[in-house]
Structure 1
Amino acid sequence: MSTDAFADREKGFEAKFKLDQEQEFRAQARRNKLFGLWVAETLGKAGAEADAYAKAVVAADFKKPGHDDVIEKVHADLEATGKAIPEERLKVEYERFLTLARKQIAEEAPKG
């Protein structure tokens, strides 16, 4: 393989990696929003109030590394309103929404 072909292939892999990383970031942000809307519904919020809550859940993910901060936030919010959901159930739903978000992002991606 020539040096030019190798360099082109390397650039292609780098571009794919970058795209995959961007899509995963978008999927995680969407997951947080979907999860926030689900929790908002459980809390009895609707419309603009539910949207605001979902944005707060998205923002919670930036407080510390990992995603435990999101689970901790919604768990505390649910407990504070007497609508507690076990953390294990929240984690299952959180993963379910990641799967859904990844599917949505993939469907939105330009084909080609």
Structure 2
Amino acid sequence: MTTFDDRENAFENKFARDEEFQFKVTARRNKLVGLWAAEKMGLTPEEADAYAKSVVQADFEEAGDEDVIRKLLGDITSAGVETDDAAIRAALDAKLVEARRQFIEEA
């Protein structure tokens, strides 16, 4: 039975590592897209950093990306910048690729 137990533990550990990696990548993506939005809104570097952190926090409101998209869309349009849902989704996709690349380069 030890072989099966070892194998089960290995799969559980891999699953935990994969989930942690995905969480970190998503948080990094949200920070990057927050910085992207802050630049569009013309925020100062200090304001941009604080705004990026608020975008990361917004992702904890509900499962999926809709909470982040809703926040970004509302904040950007409130700042008087023209944007739409598709532009924000495209930015999320681009920043996800960038976030993964950054983690891979750090390893």
Residues 51-97 of structure 1: CA distance to partner in whole angstroms, max 9, x if unpaired? 00101111111112221111111111111121021111110110111
Deviation for aligned residue 1:47:
1.4
TM-score in terms of structure 1 length: 0.89
Partner of 1:106: 104
Gaps of 5+ in 2: none
Structure 1 stretches of at least 4 aligned residues deviating more than 2 Å after TM superposition: 106-109
* Pair 1:58-2:26 in alignment: no
Q: Which has the larger radius of gyration?
A: 1
Partner of 2:11: 13
- Give ranges in structure 1 of 5+ residues lacking alignment: none
Q: Render the CA deviation track for 1:18-69: whole Å, top value 9, x for unaligned.
A: 0000000000000000000000000001311100010111111111222111
2:20 equivalent in structure 1: 22
Q: Distance in 2 between matches of 1:83 and 1:55?
A: 20
| Residue aligned with 1:63, SS | coil
Q: For the Cα contact (< 8 Å) 1:75–1:84, is it kept in 2?
A: no
**Count of equivalent residues:** 107
- State the partner residue of 1:79: 77
Question: CA RMSD, aligned part only?
Answer: 1.1
Q: TM-score, normalised by structure 2?
A: 0.93
Identity of aligned residues (%): 46
